[in-house]
Every structure is written in C-alpha cells, then in structure tokens.
C-alpha cells in the first residue's frame, strides 16, 4: 500500500508532515509506511483513506493498477493504463472476504459478526478492531464494487471513437464486471436497502453516474442518426438492467464465458437501439 499512499498524497500536493499530523503519527512512521517497511492494517488503511479524502477501495484499486502495470521498458503500454477487460483475483483482507461470502449466502441481515469472525479465523473483538460495525463492512464492499466498476467503464468508454462504439464498449464492460465480479455485483443489487441513509445516497449517486454515461452516449448516437430508437432513456435503462441482472443466473461453470456473454450483450444493446449499419459493432478487432 505504501507507493499508493505516497502517490495519492503527492498528487494532492500534501506534505508528509501534514498527512502524518492528520493521522496522529510521526513523519517517520508515515515514511516507513510509504516505503513498505510497515504493514498497513485494515483499520489504518481506512484512516489513511479518510485523511486523504478518498476511500479504502480506491487506494486498493490504485495499488492493484500500479502492481499490474507493464515494466518500465514498455512505457507506451503502461501509459495506456490497465486492461479493463482483464480480471485477476481480488486481494481482500480475511474479514471483508468472509463478509462478502456470507452476504451472498445469507444476506446482510442474515449474517452475524460472529459468523464473519469465525469464517475469517478471528475473534469478534478482532473484527471490530478492523471494522467498527457490520455496516462498515457493507459500505466497504460497495465502495470496492463501485470503484472498480467506474474505472473499468470509464476506460472502456475512452476507447470508442463514436457514440455508438462507446455505447457498445460500455455495455461490454458492464457485462464483464457483472459476470467476473458476480458476488460483488449481486450484493450491490440486493443490499442497497440495507445501507444507512447517507451511505445509500452516496452509493446511489455513483450508480447513477454509470447510468448517465450510458445515457449520454445513446443520446449522442440518436442525435447523429446512428441509433433510431424513439425512446433512448427507456432503452438505456433496459440495457443497464439487462447487465445488472447477470449475477442472478450466470455461473462460471456454465456453457458461456463472460467474454462471450459480453460480446452478445453489446450486440443485443445495439439491436435494441436500432443501430444503423455496423458503426457500433461490439466485436473486438483482431
């Protein structure tokens, strides 16, 4: 986590001493964290994220993107950023991993902190040391979900040269996320009602941001005549719902791969929107 913390701090033009003051640690301790000489516990990660005005999920994603970047001698590829189509295993702390598994199996209200602790191999006080409440675990899960979904959708959107192509790419990104990260997506779809009001409002705003990206591309394609639908907003919501429902039925051991489904869903979306010609084809170029 050290390099990720240092990068975000420097991007905000925040001095080492000032961040240390906010964290109530010595500058030497913070320097050791940034240089990887001190392990970062989950509790400390959340405190650092709060002090930097971000979330633990964003810091974790920043670390993952840094670790998976191409070697220095391949600068052009590294500059393009991580591949939004590539999904590796998620690096989660044992408590959050246990909570996600139980939220999927029993639902948020059915899962107890005692069960989460047992699955994580920790004591109940140990869980509370890292996460003050079960609500904090749900918020951390949904923050992680939205952080990853947003960077993938934005990266996919940037690849398109036209509104129709960007629409197809956004749909592909949504379908890939909701199959590869089906547990996170399932919780995101089923447990919004379990969030406290302020948390629900914030996460809902992030979800709306994804919908608005899709809305904007579809409306632009309609204006230029590439899409012929007379109901772009209704079509956009139908397409988004089509993608968000994937975790309800997709199984990794089933007959279709996430990539095959994503390609088909992009084509379904273009057909629904009345795409003229092949301008927005969701097929990847060889």
Where residue 222 sits, what CATH number does that domain have? Answer: 1.10.357.10
Beta bridge partners of 275: 227
Whether the per-residue pLDDT at 28 is higher than 90: the answer is no
Inside any domain, residue 95? no
Q: Average pLDDT, whole number, for the chain?
A: 86
What is the number of other CB atoms lying within 10 angstroms of the CB of residue 207?
Answer: 19
Whether the per-residue pLDDT at 280 is higher than 80: the answer is no
Inside any domain, residue 89? no
Whether the per-residue pLDDT at 78 is higher than 50: the answer is no
Check residue 62 and give its pLDDT.
58
Q: How many domains does the chain have?
A: 2
**At 2, is the pLDDT very low, low, confident or very high (cuts 50, 70, 90)?**
confident
Q: Do 27 and 165 belong together in one domain?
A: no
Inside any domain, residue 42? yes
Whole-structure pTM value:
0.72
Tell me how far apart the alpha carbons of residues 182 and 12 are, in angstroms, rounded to a whole number.
Answer: 34
> Per mean pLDDT, which of 207-211, 274-278, 281-285 is the most reliable?
207-211
Check residue 77 and give its pLDDT.
34
**At 33, is the pLDDT very low, low, confident or very high (cuts 50, 70, 90)?**
confident
Q: Do 172 and 69 belong together in one domain?
A: no
Q: Do 62 and 153 belong together in one domain?
A: no
Mean pLDDT of 212-229: 95
Q: Do 13 and 141 belong together in one domain?
A: no
Give the model confidence (pLDDT) of 92-123 as tens digits: 899 999 999 999 999 999 999 999 999 999 99
Whether the per-residue pLDDT at 221 is higher than 80: the answer is yes
Q: Do 193 and 268 belong together in one domain?
A: yes
Give the model confidence (pLDDT) of 121-168 as tens digits: 999 999 998 899 999 999 999 999 999 999 999 999 999 999 999 999
Where residue 65 sits, what CATH number does that domain have? Answer: 1.10.260.40
Beta bridge partners of 97: none
Whether the per-residue pLDDT at 13 is higher than 90: the answer is no
Inside any domain, residue 16? yes
Beta bridge partners of 227: 275
Inside any domain, residue 117? no
Q: Do 172 and 267 belong together in one domain?
A: yes
Inside any domain, residue 101? no
> Per mean pLDDT, which of 80-84, 125-129, 281-285 is the most reliable?
125-129
Q: Do 160 and 283 belong together in one domain?
A: yes
Inside any domain, residue 108? no
Q: What is the DSSP string of 16-75?
A: HHHHHHHHTS-HHHHHHHHTTSS---HHHHHHHHHHTTS-HHHHHHHHHHHHTSPPGGGH
Q: What is the DSSP string of 95-158?
A: HHHHHHHHHHHH-TTT--HHHHHHHHT--HHHHHHH-SSHHHHHHHHHHHHHHHHHHHHHHHHH
Q: Do 68 and 169 belong together in one domain?
A: no
Q: Do 75 and 170 belong together in one domain?
A: no
Check residue 81 and give its pLDDT.
63
Q: What is the DSSP string of 139-206?
A: HHHHHHHHHHHHHHHHHHHHT-SSHHHHHHHHHHHHHHHHHHTHHHHHHHHHSGGGS-HHHHHHHHHH
Inside any domain, residue 175? yes
Whether the per-residue pLDDT at 5 is higher than 80: the answer is yes
List the domain range (segments joined by +) for residue 46. Answer: 1-82
Check residue 37 and give its pLDDT.
74
Q: Do 146 and 71 belong together in one domain?
A: no
């Amino acid at each position: 986590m050290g390099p990720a913390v240092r990068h975000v701090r420097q991007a905000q033009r925040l001095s080492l001493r000032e961040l240390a003051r906010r964290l109530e640690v010595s500058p030497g301790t913070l320097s050791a964290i940034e240089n990887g000489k001190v392990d970062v516990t989950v509790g400390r990660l959340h405190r650092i994220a709060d002090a930097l005005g971000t979330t633990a999920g964003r810091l974790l994603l920043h670390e993952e993107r840094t670790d998976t970047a191409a070697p220095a001698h391949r600068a052009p590829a590294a500059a393009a950023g991580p591949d939004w189509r590539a999904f590796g295993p998620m690096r989660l702390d044992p408590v959050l991993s246990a909570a996600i598994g139980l939220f999927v199996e029993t639902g948020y209200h059915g899962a107890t902190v005692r069960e989460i602790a047992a699955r994580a191999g920790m004591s109940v006080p140990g869980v509370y040391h890292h996460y003050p409440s079960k609500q904090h675990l749900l918020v951390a899960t949904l923050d992680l979900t939205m952080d990853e979904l947003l960077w993938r959708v934005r990266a996919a959107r940037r690849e398109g040269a036209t509104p129709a192509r960007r629409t197809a790419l956004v749909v592909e990104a949504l379908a890939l996320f909701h199959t590869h990260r089906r547990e996170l997506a399932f919780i995101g779809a089923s447990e919004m009602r379990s969030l406290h009001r302020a948390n629900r409002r914030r996460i809902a705003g992030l979800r709306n941001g994804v919908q608005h990206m899709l809305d904007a591309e579809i409306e632009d394609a309609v204006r230029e005549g590439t899409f012929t639908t007379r109901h772009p907003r209704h079509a956009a919501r139908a397409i988004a719902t089509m993608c968000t429902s994937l975790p309800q039925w997709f199984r990794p051991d089933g007959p279709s791969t996430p990539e095959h489904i994503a390609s088909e869903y992009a084509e379904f979306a273009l057909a629904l929107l009345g795409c003229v010609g092949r301008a927005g084809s969701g097929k990847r170029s060889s």
